[in-house]
Structure 1
Amino acid sequence: MATSLHLEAANLPEDAIEVARIADAWGVKGWFKVVPHSADPEALFSAKRWFLQPSERGAKAFTGTVLLNIRQAKDHSDTVVAWAEGVDDRDAAEALRGARVFVPRSSFPSTGTDEYYWVDLIGLQVVNREGVALGQVRELMSTGPQTVLVLAYEQDGKAQERMIPFVSAFVDKVELAEKRITVDWQPDY
């Protein structure tokens, strides 16, 4: 299969964060569908340079890390579609299927007061007002009306999980530099 896929080898930036994967070709002119890992894919729209790595399984059209210069990325119905330099037809777009999309954290849009990217909260230690360690943020979960911190901790040598709503009623402060979140929550809740 002859394809017109022209990709430039690149080094993955140290602050690169995986934000999406490429699902499939979209149309015949080289556009492709993108599945963002976040409900709010602002980083995809603001970054003009995406770094791709091949999917862990399946056919690979490229190896290592490649740079994709994005001509355009936009919302379309319930998905995101994008068009990049060097991807000029449907075959080239199909060759990207399954690729993992990374963008540098430094190219994310700035957050407002009391706004945080989920990726910045993962790994933070959570303590309550009394200084009791409640666990480490393993992931965040959207439950519709609110986001929930999912904490991992150990009790009696066994891995446990604790969930705390990420709302101002329970979250006193987020200190990114100290890698800590202080909450109004008790270990036995």
Structure 2
Amino acid sequence: MSEDRICVGAFAGSFGVHGEVRLKSFCAEPEDIGTYGPLWTEDGTRSFTVAVTRAIKNGFAADVEEVATKEEADALKGVRLYADRDALPSLPDDEFYHADLIGLKVMDTGGVERGRVSAVHNHGAGDLIEVTGPGFKTPALIPFTLVNVPTVDLGAGLVVIDPPEGALPE
């Protein structure tokens, strides 16, 4: 996966019988997924021209130039879609693309390295960073709030955390 692309959504199967697709958007403004130019597969071997037609339950219906039939739309179910980073809006200083956080070194407020960000999750109540490191039997989930993650320094490749009591192994 190229660092020049960010995951913005995924195909969720067909919608109707005329080749429309169901589309999940991972964008802050979900309907913007159709405005980022061609969307790419993770390996970059295929691109899709997506036109969102309407909101539907759990996402959008969309026309995709490269998809003509219901069967073609169904075959794409689960394929994640990536936009070129330069097509995406620039973010304010206190916002980050999830892809930029993954892999960053994690230090606690005492300066002790605790591991790395292995994933970012959002189950509806806000973002959580997943931290893995030495001594972890399972990954730790830290709420991605200013209180728990007071510093993110992309240039230094570093996240400073002040985790809730018991969130990390001792």
Whether the 8 Å CA contact 2:117–2:129 is kept in 1: the answer is yes
One-letter code aligned to 2:122: S
**1:125 corresponds to which residue?**
105
Output the CA distance in 2 between the equivalents of 1:78 and 1:124: 31
Which residue matches 1:61?
none
Match in the other structure for 1:57: none
Amino-acid identity (%): 27
- Give the drift of 1:122: 0.9
Which residue among 36, 41, 54 is the counterpart of 1:47?
36
Cα distance in 2 between the residues matched to 1:144 and 1:23? 19
TM value normalised by structure 1: 0.69
Letter in structure 2 aligned against 1:78: N
Q: Can you list the C-alpha shifts for 1:125-176, whole angstroms capped at 9, x where unaligned?
A: 1112321112101112335433222100113xx6553332211112222111
Q: Distance in 2 between matches of 1:98 and 1:76?
A: 17
Q: Which has the larger radius of gyration?
A: 1
Letter in 2 for 1:35: K
RMSD of Structure 2 on Structure 1 (CA): 3.1
Q: 1:170·1:184 contact (CA, 8 Å) conserved in 2? A: yes
Aligned residue number for residue 23 of structure 2 = 34
> Equivalent residue for 1:7?
none
- Please say if 1:162 is aligned against 2:162: no
The letter of the residue matching 1:87 is V
Alpha-carbon distance in 2 for matches of 1:126, 1:76: 39
TM-score (norm 2): 0.76
Stretches of structure 2 lacking an aligned partner (at least 5 in a row): none
Cα deviation for residue 73 of structure 1 reads 5.8
Residue type matched to 1:81 in 2? Answer: A
Query: Which moved further from structure 2: 169-178 or 12-21?
Result: 12-21
Number of residue pairs matched by the alignment = 166
Q: Please give the secondary structure, in 2, of the residue aligned with 1:154.
A: coil
Q: What residue in structure 1 maps to residue 149 of structure 2?
A: 171
Unaligned runs of 5+ in 1: 1-11, 55-63
* 1:19 Cα deviation from its structure 2 partner: 3.8
